[in-house]
Amino acid sequence: KAGVTQTPRYLIKTRGQQVTLSCSPISGHRSVSWYQQTPGQGLQFLFEYFSETQRNKGNFPGRFSGRQFSNSRSEMNVSTLELGDSALYLCASSYTTGNPYEQYFGPGTRLTVT
Amino acid sequence: AQSVAQPEDQVNVAEGNPLTVKCTYSVSGNPYLFWYVQYPNRGLQFLLKYITGDNLVKGSYGFEAEFNKSQTSFHLKKPSALVSDSALYFCAVRVSNTGKLIFGQGTTLQVKP
């Protein structure tokens, strides 16, 4: 099976702009979660989608949003970018939500905000 | 609140020697624990998980982890380290009935020839 794919792999944006990141889960996986990884804060949960519904949300401002399509592909959007949004954004897919299924991660999208 | 701690920022070990990367957790209810590894400029790779059952869990690439409920620990181990094991290792706990993982801060493993 193909793994989790994320596009684009690298992005450079200017403060104030918005950005959309895409994630295609492993075939058959219906749960998609997003994480932000920074050197200072480590790995932090953004949100989880299952069956096109947001199931859980982390402690991020409303500028961070996402959605999931009927084919389980997911997108996350960040509006009004700030310098602190520079990070590696990781998408993870799982067969379903909750235990005991492990999550499989994509390679990430490296976002740089200047 | 659930949390995970990895007390060592870096672990250094010589190739061929056994390695241990430590993880302690704090959860309410039954813990669902995971180990992931991250190589430079890559996403996280799943190594192993503890859901229930045997306290010694075997995973990918020769890694195993020992679950200890009384010490609330889930240490990652390997009998003989390889230089190629050098990477960043994360312990994580799943928030019950959700897809949310709470990660430790990560431990850099350095295996020297």
Contacts of B46 (CB under 8 A, 6+ apart): A102, A103, A104, A105, B34, B36, B60
Inspect the interface and report whether the beta carbons of A43 and B51 lie closer than 8 Å: no
CB contact under 8 A, A58 and B34: no
> Is the pLDDT score of A99 beyond 70?
no
CB A103 to CB B103 under 8 A?
A: no
Q: How many CB pairs under 8 A join A and B?
A: 72
* Residue A38 phi, psi (nearest 5): -130, 155
Q: What percent of chain B has pLDDT over 70?
A: 100
Distance CA B76, CA A64 (A): 34
Q: Token digits for B82?
A: 């390889």
Cβ contacts of A50 on chain B, cutoff 8 Å: 99
Q: Does the structure show a pLDDT above 90 at A100?
A: no
Confidence of residue B24 (pLDDT cuts 50, 70, 90): very high
Residue A104 has pLDDT above 70, yes or no: yes
Between CA A111 and CA A50 the distance in angstroms is: 25
Residue B28 has what pLDDT?
Answer: 84
Check whether B41 has a pLDDT greater than 90.
no
CA dihedral B82, B88, B93, B99 (to 10 degrees): -110
Contact: A42, B103; criterion CB under 8 Å: yes
* Residue A1 or residue A43, greater confidence: A43
The answer to whether residue A95 neighbours chain B at the CB level (below 8 Å) is no
Lowest mean pLDDT among A11-20, A66-75, B46-55, B91-100: B91-100
Report yes or no: B105 at the A interface, CB cutoff 8 Å.
yes
A106 at B interface, C-beta within 8 A: yes
For chain B, say whether A25 makes contact (Cβ under 8 Å): no
Averaged over B44-66, what is the pLDDT? 94
Burial group, residue A71, by CB count within 10 angstroms (0-12, 13-18, 19+): exposed
Distance from CA of A97 to the nearest CA of B (A): 5
List the single range of A54-68, A76-90, B29-43, B77-91 with lowest mean pLDDT. B29-43
SS3 (DSSP) at B60? helix
B43 interfacial to chain A (CB closer than 8 Å):
yes
Judging contacts by C-beta atoms under 8 Å, the chain A residues touching residue B51 are 99-100
